[in-house]
Amino acid sequence: MSSIPSPSFFQKVFAWSVHLFTASGLLAGFMAILAINEKDWRMAMIWLVISLVIDGIDGTFARMARVKEVLPYMDGTTIDYVIDFATYAIIPAYFFHQAELVPEDWRLACTAIILLVSALYYGKTGMVSDDMYFIGFPVLWNMVVFYMIFIFHFSPVVNAAFILAFAILHFVPIKFVYPSQAKSFKALTVGVTVVFILSLLLILYYFPVEIVWLRWAAILCMIYYAGMGVYNTWIEK
């Protein structure tokens, strides 16, 4: 019976590099905090989008590097969860609070709702279903803040209503698409996701100038994800 060869030095370096790449999402999140402190909303969101991109592609690198085999004593999933909770919940909650998107008397309460429901969502069993859907609105408060500041410009009262609505949606059993693991319409979903990320970056690049077609691109991508949630939950068999 042949033994499994030990990973080479270069394989270990590659695997460690992937873990460091994943961890760099936290550095992007920290840079977002510094920008928020300066009330530089544009730069803060650029850093959060960078962390989003890192999170979206690091899994591909992890599979290429076979990190579970090469570094069996490291748990990349745990690293990912720590960074995701920081960049999708804690930092966006701070962003929301500092950007004064709701009346002052409601600001701390709405921020607390974001943090508490995010923690509870991460504690759910079956946060991701066996067929690779997020069950309930995933913790994407970075994108909620993005649309509030850069796309819709709703009134403070409407913003507060949306915070409550998305908080409730965390616990409604709707199947939200997991772009990198999509089963139905995978090519279309990946394409929409690429358009979505590019539109975010271009909107931020041109800010404060508003480019109408970029704004509509972001809105249509949002509608697509919402529509896929309806399709995945109630139509797909």
For residue range 55-71, list pLDDT tens digits in order.
989 988 998 989 999 99
Q: Is the pLDDT of residue 20 over 80?
A: yes
What is the C-alpha separation between 142 and 53, in angstroms, rounded? 13
Mean residue pLDDT across the chain? 93
Q: Is the pLDDT of residue 183 over 80?
A: no
Q: What's the burial of 157, exposed, middle or buried (CB within 10 Å: 0-12/13-18/19+)?
A: exposed
Flag the least confident range among 37-41, 153-157, 184-188, 227-231. Answer: 184-188
pLDDT, tens digit, 9 for 90 and up, residues 110-156: 999 999 999 999 998 888 888 889 999 999 999 999 999 999 999 99
Please answer whether residues 58 and 88 qualify as being in contact, where contact means their C-beta atoms are separated by less than 8 angstroms. no
Q: To the nearest whole percent, how much of the chain has pLDDT over 90?
A: 81
Contact 199, 218 (CB under 8 A): yes
Separation CA 145–CA 93 (nearest Å): 9
User: Where does 87-126 have alpha helices with state H?
Assistant: 91-98, 104-122
Predicted local confidence at residue 38, as pLDDT: 98
pLDDT at 237: 63
**Is 130 in a helix, a strand, or coil?**
coil
- What residues contact residue 11 under an 8 Å CB cut-off, 6+ apart? 65, 66, 70
Cβ neighbors of 223 (< 8 A, separation 6 or more) are none
Reply yes or no on whether the pLDDT at 2 is more than 70. Answer: no
pLDDT at residue 1, as a whole number: 46
CA distance 232 to 186: 12
Q: What is the DSSP letter of 128?
A: B
Tokens 């919402």, residue? Answer: 226
Say yes or no to pLDDT of 164 above 60: yes
In this predicted model, what pLDDT tens digit does every residue of 70-109 receive, in sequence order?
Answer: 998 999 889 999 999 999 999 999 999 999 999 999 999 9
